Amino acid sequence: MSFVADILRAAAARGNDPSLIELHGTQLLPISGRAFLDASARARTFLRRHSVAPGDRVALLGGNSAHWAAIDVAIMAEGAICVPLYARQAPGQLAGMLRDAGPRVMIAADEALADPIAKVWSEACPIACYDEVLACEPVANPEAVVEVPASAPVTIVYTSGTSGEPKGAMLTAANVDFMLDVTVRRIREMSASGRGGRSEDRVFHYLPFCFAGSRIMLWSQLRRGNPMWLSTDLDNLQDELRTAAPHYFMNVPVLLERVKKGVEARLSGVSMPLRALYERGASAYRAQVAGTISVRERMWLMSAQKLIFPRIKHLIGENLEFLVCGSARLAEETQRWFEMLGIPVFQVYGLTETTGIVTIDDTSNVRAGRVGHVVPGCELRVTHDGELACRGPNVFAGYWQRPEATAQMVRDGWLHTGDQAELDASGSVKIIGRLKDVIVPESGHNVAPTPIEERLVLSGDGIEQALVVGHGRPFLTAIVTGDIGEPQLTAAQEQVNATLPHYQRLRKLYRAPELFTADNGLLTANQKMKRAVIEARYASEIEEMYR
């Protein structure tokens, strides 16, 4: 389990320099390498007092913080299996995961998180809060780790449950060691620090650590000995980003799309000459991408690149060099918009079951709308029905206590992702959508809803989210969210339909009264739509569209 030892050694080497920096609005709370190592050592004493042995599960519940990261590392350093849980998930759902995992002990950030779990989990194991855990004396040798076999699980990460009950994906020491080697090497290629441009990267992070991709980013930075700036309040994200002024950070598509819409809404209020320069520059950039740019358009583009695009880039992030995006499909138009401003977006594609990553963009060959090439050491193929399959050292050990579900996911050594994809001659991957989300209306055509939903979101300034329905129906309809009136909604529908074949056109739209969120149960914690849940919530409204 070399990666845990590497993290602890890197923390010791940092000494009084920060390993992590918590952002509390505009206030900074640096946590030194020494303090990180001390917190981990205290947590290890707590685990020993509760007789936690190698292979035991330990649940960890809390928002992103330096203490969360230190306790996570402590659990693995003792040879135990960390089961991270999402702090904003409903207590009843968390209790179901805990019953499945059977932890020896659970550690929660505070009583506000611990008490609701205890009320709904009758067979609860001991539950302790950070204060109790970190009040213990530190172990004598905080850099030593309990060695476990490479094939042993070090964490069980519960899937987001978009299509059913969450399952615990077991990631092994070998899985994580392999993936961190890949990601640390690729981060160095992407960043100026890796090219000798500076000693450290400013890396901001706001996505929950309990998910595989976030955890890989956290461990990568800890292993590098590079301080990471942690968001502690998603409601204060703008202030935190401004304060951190990062060189790069990891994203989900919904945030990038909101940034784009926010900037364009702001531009609508600037003077006419500036707005005209932006619009003509953006149009010229699109023509350049299409290979049809004229001399006049080239002049407009050069002017915009000198006078307006740098100002917008500075508004988004004064130090931004690039962005990393994963978790869901990113609209090609959104990716090109950031590139236009001089902010490359490198896409990462993967699943929890692939240790977070399958493909990463090649920095020298980024193609908008595609998610890069398979990571070195792994293989990809597309099955006869268009499903992307993967095999390699990143493939998980299986679902905890679910051999049948594991056998359905991994067949003949190939992990079947459930994603419909295209693989070109160079090995570049394009994700089309989820196979199980394919809609087959009465016409018999197979329709991938995601590209249509993307077009809807991009077509109307007020549309925040869209979900296309129509399986087994005579035509397609959609549920949308956002602050948009009927005339604008109709215009957006017509604009989208003009680009679609007849069998993909939307006959009716329904504007839902609330956004899809994780809090109301309509999104997973990492911002994916729970399609079946949304359709059930709005079943009567859907029926009305087909009357």
pLDDT in tens, 111-133: 999 999 999 997 889 999 999 99
- Residue 526 pLDDT exceeds 80: no
Q: Report the SS3 class of residue 327.
A: coil
Q: What digits encode the pLDDT tens for the residues 438-489? A: 888 877 777 888 889 988 988 867 898 999 999 888 899 999 999 888 888 9
pLDDT for 157: 96
Question: Which of 180-184, 266-270, 327-331, 344-348 is predicted with the least confidence, judged by mean pLDDT?
Answer: 327-331
Could you report the per-residue pLDDT of 483-511, keeping only the tens digit for each?
Answer: 888 888 999 899 999 888 888 899 999 99
For every residue of 358-370, DSSP letters joined together read: SEE--TTS--TT-
Residue 179 to residue 294: CA distance in whole angstroms = 45
Which H/E stretch holds residue 511? strand 506-511
Cβ atoms of 233 and 20 within 8 Å: the answer is no
pLDDT of residue 430: 93
Provide the pLDDT confidence category of residue 265 given band limits of 50, 70 and 90.
confident
Residue 430 CB partners (closer than 8 Å, separation 6+): 369, 370, 371, 421, 422, 423, 424
Question: Looking at residue 460, what is its pLDDT?
Answer: 66
481 closest CA partner among 149, 175, 281, 254? 254
Provide the percentage of residues in the chain whose pLDDT is more than 70: 98
What mean pLDDT value characterizes the chain? 92
The whole-number pLDDT of residue 355 equals 97
Cα separation of 458 and 466, whole Å? 10
Q: Which domains does the chain carry?
A: 2-241 (3.40.50.12780), 253-318+322-435 (3.40.50.12780), 438-545 (3.30.300.30)
Residue 1 is predicted with a pLDDT of 55
Quickly count helices (H) and strands (E) in the chain. Answer: 19, 24
Query: What angle separates helix 66-77 from helix 212-224, to the nearest 10 degrees?
Result: 90
Nearest C-alpha neighbor of 141 from the set 217, 222, 78: 78
Are the C-beta atoms of 154 and 16 separated by less than 8 Å? no
State both tokens at 143: 């850099």
Residue 539, phi then psi, degrees to nearest 5: -60, -45
Which token pair is 542? 């859907």
88, two tokens:
């904003």
Task: Give me the mean pLDDT over the 169-180 stretch.
Answer: 97
Task: Please answer whether residues 68 and 36 qualify as being in contact, where contact means their C-beta atoms are separated by less than 8 angstroms.
Answer: no
Phi-psi region of 214 (alpha: psi -120 to 50; beta: other; left: phi over 0): alpha
Between 476 and 166, the more confident residue is: 476
pLDDT over 90, % of the chain: 70
279 neighbors 285 (Cβ within 8 angstroms): no
pLDDT in tens, 409-446: 999 999 999 899 999 999 999 998 888 888 888 777 77
26-72 tens-digit pLDDT:
899 999 999 999 999 999 999 999 999 999 999 999 999 999 999 99
The arithmetic mean of pLDDT across residues 257-265, rounded, is 88
20 versus 435: which is more confidently predicted? Answer: 20
Q: Pairing mode, if any, of strands 248-251 and 203-205?
A: parallel
CA dihedral 465, 467, 468, 470 (to 10 degrees): -150
Instruction: List helix spans (H) across 291-437.
Output: 295-307, 309-316, 332-340, 403-409
pLDDT exceeds cutoff 90 at 197? no
